[in-house]
C-alpha cells in the first residue's frame, strides 16, 4: 500500500485543494496522512474568503519523516501557501522528498514552497498565474496547462493551476503512485 502526505498550515488552505486530493487518495486505497504546522484543525477557505470546513490533521510538520511517504501533496490557498513557503518544517519535508526522488505535487499557490526551496530550478511547471514570474525568476519554466508532470532534476513534480484542474491533478497523483 502506498503512503501519501498532504502538508498544510492551520489556516487559509483552499477547501477543495485539500479535500478533493485527500478523498481521491483515500478512495484509491492510499494511506494518507495530513500534517499541519500546529497539528489539530485546518481552517479551510473557499476562494481565500469564505470559511470552509475545518479538516483535522493527523500530526505536525515537525513530526514528519518524509522517507515514509511515496508522494508529498501541497494544496494551495493564498494564505496557506504564503505561510507554508517560509515554514522550516515544510521546507525540510519537500527538500528531503525531492532529494530522495519522491514525487511532489503542488496546486495553485502551493508551488511557492518549491520556489522558496529552490526546487523549481530546471523544472517545467504550472501554478496560479500570478506565480509565473516567481517560477521564472527561480529558474523554472512556467506553462499554462491544467496539469504539468516533470521528471527532470531527480524527482517528479506534478503541478496544476487552480481548483478547476483538480480532476487532472488527482489523476496525475494517482498515476505517480502506480
Average pLDDT over residues 29-51: 98
Count structural domains, the chain.
1
Q: What is the pLDDT of residue 1?
A: 86
Average pLDDT over residues 73-77: 98
Query: Is 64 within 8 Å of 37 (Cβ atoms)?
Result: no
Q: Are strands 104-107 and 157-160 parallel, antiparallel or unpaired?
A: parallel
What's the CATH code of the domain at 159? 3.40.50.880
Catalytically active residues are: 108
Question: What pTM does this model have?
Answer: 0.98
For the chain, what percent of residues have pLDDT higher than 70?
100
Domain of 24?
3-177
Amino acid at each position: 500500500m502506498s503512503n501519501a502526505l498532504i502538508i498544510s498550515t492551520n489556516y487559509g488552505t483552499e477547501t477543495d485543494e485539500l479535500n478533493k486530493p485527500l478523498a481521491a487518495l483515500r478512495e484509491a486505497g492510499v494511506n494518507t496522512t495530513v500534517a499541519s504546522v500546529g497539528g489539530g484543525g485546518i481552517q479551510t477557505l473557499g476562494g481565500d474568503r469564505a470559511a470552509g470546513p475545518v479538516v483535522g490533521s493527523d500530526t505536525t510538520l515537525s513530526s514528519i519523516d518524509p522517507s515514509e511517504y511515496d508522494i508529498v501533496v501541497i494544496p494551495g490557498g493564498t494564505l496557506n501557501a504564503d505561510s507554508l513557503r517560509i515554514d522550516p518544517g515544510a521546507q525540510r519535508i519537500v527538500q528531503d522528498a525531492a532529494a530522495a526522488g519522491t514525487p511532489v505535487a503542488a496546486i495553485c499557490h502551493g508551488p511557492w514552497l518549491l520556489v522558496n526551496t529552490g526546487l523549481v530550478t530546471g523544472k517545467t511547471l504550472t501554478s496560479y498565474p500570478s506565480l509565473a514570474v516567481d517560477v521564472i525568476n527561480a529558474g523554472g519554466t512556467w506553462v499554462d496547462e491544467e496539469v504539468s508532470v516533470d521528471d527532470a532534476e531527480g524527482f517528479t513534480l506534478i503541478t496544476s493551476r487552480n481548483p478547476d484542474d483538480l480532476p487532472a491533478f488527482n489523476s496525475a497523483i494517482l498515476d505517480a503512485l502506480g
